[in-house]
């Protein structure tokens, strides 16, 4: 038996009891990672896949990926499927916000304890079976229920803490902000911001922001709708220009798409209406707000949700935003301020780990195949960064070949596996300096084998040693939403096909795109003639049921998105393939996609038989603490069993 102490991020209101322990050294995105109705881990790439977190003490280094983690956490709490406690290595505010909202809006709900401990690695090495949360952020772990119960000594005392749901102890700055609130909604929003600020900082200060992008407008369950409608009822209005993320349905065209008016669908429309009533733009509804007019500028302080948008804004545009959790994003937009923490501060934007791909000789001969590098490399960089701000070197010589669409795909995939909201790319992104490169103390050399592993993780095909063709039933494009230039490239590829330039009738091709760009694109009519259907306002991460995904559970979905290839299997329970946009067009015509025997983007190749031998269950030598471990061990297991569901 052992005892640990930590910092309480959120003080739960449940009675402490002995619970089974579930632990991992890999961060987990709650959205696309845990089913909010069952509590089961649905992320196919995660070591905890298939386990239920309900009623457990869940131990993770951090969250990762989607800003919608807070929504999933709230619904887990309301559905009675949340862990009893969440133990974190990092001080992660993203997953904590859902618990804060539960305390504020649903005071009778069973909110869990969220605790950060310093010696997380020691806990993993102990591999305890059971645990119990004590007061003051202390925990007992052991091998049996009886052992822990005998050692438990209740202590009713507890210290005042702004995160524990009681009265806030305000600084002078916070009191001035509270006194300036003009509506109950603004006061409620500010309380949430202050509680969050004390989760991520010991002595927070606050700064003004110039723009906001709201991720919390996606409908996950009734908790999020109740929260937004409460803000409307209490007079909430945003103070800065605010765009909205993709919602859960095509608001203008859902009937024509064959979508039924279910309770969930109607609730998603009500949620969109609530956010518009708060003063958010009714012309946005996109997961790629950086494609709209007036994107953020270098060094501009903003508050953005949606993981891919956050990474793009920080990394490519050089704006400054944390990865803001759903619910917190609208609170900050209503107040017009954010805590001055994280990558809002110049010093916090400095990279801590250098990822080097210089040893890999990439090929740019085929621009379509070169494009496939970016979702794969982004996904891998997120995994290897292990919560740190990374700096990627080795792409400098290809900077003239790298487009904004490549970077969009890269950032979206990075956002699925990274906890960091920022990655620097030497020769590409605006903040990289020679001094920054030299200052990185941690360095990691990426090899082509790791790219190969990542590609195979995202491209679910059962054949290890064959180029056998696989049937494609459905093709999804636009995650993140299509840009105008991507529409033009799609049309160029279609026009290069031999006549007749029509897709195969049995293959559905659907593209998601913002209504703003859809209405502007001159390529859309011709793409429709080819057979591509367009969906506005929503995105593939929200299109979870037929007719927007295949009815047949054995169907295969093809995408060019590393983000959708990561989240899609868990969200839809369908098999996924990953290919370039050009290959997606070819598959639309033939209904087939060949399994590649070598990476298309690299001049260095390795046979799959050699690859499989190097990844048998006993030969890999990665340590448990290595950032490579999560991808090596899990991928090796999956590849050797043929990627069975």
Query: Is the pLDDT score of 526 beyond 60?
Result: yes
CB neighbour burial string for 599-620, b if at least 16 within 10 angstroms, e if fewer: bbbbebebebeebeeebeeeee
191: CB partners within 8 A, 6+ apart: 104, 168
Candidates 358, 356, 306, 295; CA nearest to 329 is: 306
> Using one digit for the tens of pLDDT, what is the confidence trace for 128-181?
999 999 877 889 999 999 999 887 766 555 444 444 444 578 999 999 999 999
> Using one digit for the tens of pLDDT, what is the confidence trace for 337-378?
999 999 999 999 999 999 999 999 999 988 888 999 999 999
> Using one digit for the tens of pLDDT, what is the confidence trace for 110-125?
999 999 998 999 999 9
The pTM of this model reads: 0.87
Residue 415's pLDDT is 95
Candidates 398, 392, 400, 401; CA nearest to 315 is: 392
Helix%, strand%, coil% for the chain, nearest 5 = 40, 15, 45
Active-site residue 66, yes or no?
yes
167: CB partners within 8 A, 6+ apart: none
Candidates 102, 142, 150, 105; CA nearest to 2 is: 142
Residue 164's pLDDT is 43
CA distances from residue 243 to 271, 291, 293, 356, 400 in whole angstroms, order as listed: 14, 12, 11, 36, 31
Candidates 564, 356, 589, 572; CA nearest to 493 is: 589
The mean pLDDT value for 15-21 works out to 89
Query: Is the pLDDT score of 624 beyond 60?
Result: no
Coil/strand/helix, residue 133: strand
Candidates 469, 558, 567, 577; CA nearest to 511 is: 558
Task: Judge residue 536's burial from the number of C-beta atoms within 10 Å of its C-beta, 0-12 exposed, 13-18 middle, 19 or more buried.
Answer: buried
Q: What is the DSSP string of 554-584?
A: T-EEEES-HHHHHHHHHHH--EEEE--HHHH
Q: Please, which residues bridge with residue 34 across strands?
A: 41
Which listed residue (29, 45, 62, 66) is catalytic?
A: 66
> Using one digit for the tens of pLDDT, what is the confidence trace for 602-623?
776 543 333 333 333 222 222 3
CB neighbour burial string for 568-589, b if at least 16 within 10 angstroms, e if fewer: bbbbbebbbbbbbbbbbbbbbb
Residue 501's pLDDT is 81
Chain centroid, CA 270 distance in Å: 24
Query: Is the pLDDT score of 296 beyond 90?
Result: yes
For the sheet with 242-244, list strands across it: 242-244, 212-214, 303-304
> Using one digit for the tens of pLDDT, what is the confidence trace for 264-292?
999 999 999 999 999 999 989 999 999 99
Candidates 101, 93, 64, 94; CA nearest to 204 is: 93
Residue ranges of domains in the chain, CATH in brackets: 2-164 (3.50.30.10), 177-341 (3.30.499), 350-467+600-645 (no CATH), 469-594 (3.30.499.10)
How many Cα atoms within 13 Å fall on the side-chain side of residue 234?
19
Q: What is the DSSP string of 166-215?
A: S-----HHHHHHHHH--SHHHHHHHHHHHHHHHHH-SS--EEE-S-EEE-
First to last CA, the chain: 37
């Amino acid at each position: 038996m052992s005892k640990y102490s930590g910092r309480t991020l959120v003080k739960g209101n449940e009675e402490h009891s002995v619970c089974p322990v579930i632990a991992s050294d890999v961060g987990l995105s709650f959205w696309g990672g845990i089913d909010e109705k069952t509590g089961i881990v649905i992320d196919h790439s995660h070591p905890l896949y298939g386990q239920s977190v309900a009623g457990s003490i869940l131990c993770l280094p951090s969250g990762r990926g989607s800003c919608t983690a807070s929504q999933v956490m709230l619904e887990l709490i309301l559905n009675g499927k949340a862990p009893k406690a969440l133990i974190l290595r990092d001080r992660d505010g993203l997953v904590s916000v859902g618990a804060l909202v539960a305390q504020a809006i649903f005071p009778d709900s069973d909110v869990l304890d969220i605790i950060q401990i310093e010696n997380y690695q020691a806990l993993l090495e102990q591999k305890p079976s059971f645990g119990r949360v004590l007061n003051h952020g202390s925990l007992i772990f052991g091998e049996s229920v009886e052992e822990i119960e005998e050692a438990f000594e209740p202590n009713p005392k507890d210290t005042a803490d702004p995160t524990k749901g009681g009265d806030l102890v305000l600084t002078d700055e916070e009191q001035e902000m509270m006194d300036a609130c003009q509506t109950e909604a603004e006061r409620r929003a500010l309380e949430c911001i202050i509680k969050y600020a004390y989760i991520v900082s010991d002595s927070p200060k606050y700064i003004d922001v110039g723009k906001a992008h709201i991720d919390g407008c996606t409908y996950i369950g009734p908790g999020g709708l109740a929260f937004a409608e409460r803000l409307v009822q209490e007079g909430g209005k945003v103070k800065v220009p605010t765009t909205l993320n993709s919602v859960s349905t095509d608001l203008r065209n859902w009937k024509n798409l064959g979508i039924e008016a279910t309770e969930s669908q109607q609730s998603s429309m009500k949620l969109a209406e609530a956010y518009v009533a708060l003063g958010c733009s009714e012309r946005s509804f996109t997961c790629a707000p950086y494609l709209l007019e007036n994107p953020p500028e270098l060094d501009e302080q903003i508050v953005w949700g949606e993981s891919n948008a956050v990474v793009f804004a920080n990394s490519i545009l050089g704006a400054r935003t944390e990865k803001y959790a759903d619910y917190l994003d609208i609170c900050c937009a209503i107040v017009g301020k954010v805590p001055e923490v994280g990558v809002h501060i110049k010093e916090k934007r400095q990279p801590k780990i250098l990822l080097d791909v210089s040893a890999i000789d990439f090929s740019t001969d085929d621009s379509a195949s070169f494009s496939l590098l970016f979702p794969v490399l982004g996904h891998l960089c997120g995994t290897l960064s292990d919560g740190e701000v990374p700096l990627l070197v080795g792409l400098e010589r290809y900077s003239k070949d790298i487009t904004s669409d490549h970077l969009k795909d890269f950032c979206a995939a990075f956002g699925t596996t990274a906890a960091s909201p920022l990655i620097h790319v030497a020769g590409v992104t605006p903040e990289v300096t020679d001094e920054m490169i030299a200052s990185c103390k941690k360095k990691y050399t990426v090899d082509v084998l790791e790219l190969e592993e990542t590609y195979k993780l995202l491209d679910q095909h059962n054949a290890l040693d064959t180029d056998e063709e696989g049937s494609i039933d459905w093709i999804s494009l636009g995650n993140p939403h299509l840009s105008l230039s991507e529409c033009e490239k799609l049309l160029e590829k279609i026009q290069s096909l031999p006549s007749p330039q029509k897709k195969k009738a049995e293959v559905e091709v659907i593209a998601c795109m913002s209504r703003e760009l859809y209405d502007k694109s001159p390529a859309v009519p011709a793409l429709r003639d080819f057979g591509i259907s367009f969906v506005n306002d929503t995105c593939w991460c929200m299109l979870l049921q037929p007719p927007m995904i295949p009815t047949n559970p054995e169907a295969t979905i093809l995408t060019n998105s590393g983000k959708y290839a990561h989240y899609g299997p868990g969200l839809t329970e369908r098999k996924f393939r990953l290919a370039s946009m050009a290959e997606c067009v070819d598959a639309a015509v033939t209904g087939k996609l060949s399994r590649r025997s070598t990476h298309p983007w690299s001049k260095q190749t390795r046979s799959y038989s050699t690859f499989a031998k190097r990844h048998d269950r006993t030969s890999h030598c990665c340590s448990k603490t290595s950032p490579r471990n999560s991808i090596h061990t899990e991928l090796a297991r999956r590849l050797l069993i043929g990627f069975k569901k």
